[in-house]
Amino acid sequence: MPQSDHSSSLFSAFDLGGLKVNNRLALAPMTRSKAGPERLANPLIAEYYAQRASAGLVITEATTVSAQGNGYLNTPGIYTDEMGDAWRQVTEAVHAKGGRIFLQLWHTGRASHSEFHDGAQPVSASAIRIEGDGVHTPSGKQDYEVPRALETGELKGVVADYVSAAERAKAAGFDGVEIHAANGYLLDQFLQSKTNQRTDEYGSSVENRFRLLREVVEGVVAVFGGNRVAVRLAPNGMFNDMGSPDFRETFTYAAKELEAYGLAYLHVMDGLAFGFHEQGEPMTLEDFRAIFTGPLMANCGYDRQMSIDAVQRGAADMVAIGRPYISNPDLAERWENSWPEAPLSEPTSWYTLEQVAAGFTDYPVYEAGGK
């Protein structure tokens, strides 16, 4: 089982489950919607990740494991052989720069719309709709719909989709995979009591609500080995209308159970930058450190000094950085050398659907004249 190492700085090398990474920074997974309607990785996406390969670990944008898992426009998938093959250009580009890259596995669940599924309802743990601003569909922004609760007999198929996606990721040359069980997507919907009101073996108790995530982890670990599999959790998050009164019990149980799999890391969105559900005191990295001895990755709203401090005090082994990496492809070098950061890019450029360099791959590195 990988053990955490609390002795080094943010800019020191780290043994991540037998995978040497050059520093403790990770490129956080961020939806960029550049894969086109066919949901295929392409040369522009390969260039984007290669530009950021100096991060200790590159984690790709969330990538759907099935057509049923789709819920965003032009995000990539890995549920066909063509999709899997398309990702190889990305892994090769990152590896050519000396980088390491994990693919994030995703099923949006109820955070979707029937327009993505030929009129069929989106699915979830229970028939509870998102109370929120709405979802962007091929015909424009629409209200969220009441999802269909997945039948017990369908869940083995959901697990099989994750396993098949992991197999394709391995064949495409990824160093590992991160299972997205955060931010109100399908696995989080099963895990949390707010969205899981089932009475079968996948509901009622915290043990049963964890069952689907456990089965997915076991299936994916069988493909990659535990030291090349990570899990992402969001104990404090309210994104996609999440937040359960028993969140501390739920996420404490999940972390304790995940300990047994020797994961590459546990990715904890402890920060409150995207809002806090206010169901109690936020869970901290220290809360997770007390119950999970493997590598911990912090995330959500961290700046340079916060990241340095989290590693120095032993609360985190790595820190995932999102938005600053959009306009600073060389963020690791800028932070290590105390060079100035380029300002955050305009939010309007983050999710443009066009496959163009503008706002995606056209940010200069500091040595080349970046600010």
Catalytic residues: 185
Using CA atoms, how far residue 44 sits from 35, 201, 242, 255, 338, in Å, is 9, 44, 33, 36, 29
Q: Cβ contacts of residue 155 below 8 Å, gap of 6+?
A: 202, 212, 215
The Cα 156–Cα 362 span in angstroms is 43
Q: Which amino acid is at 166?
A: A
Q: Strand pairing partners for 298?
A: 268, 319
Is residue 242 a contact partner of residue 183, using CB atoms and an 8 Å limit? yes
CA distance 222 to 208: 21
**Is 280 within 8 Å of 247 (Cβ atoms)?**
yes
Phi-psi region of 247 (alpha: psi -120 to 50; beta: other; left: phi over 0): alpha
Count of positions (residues) in the chain: 371
Q: For the CA atoms of 364, 346, 58, 73, what is the dihedral angle to 10 degrees?
A: -130
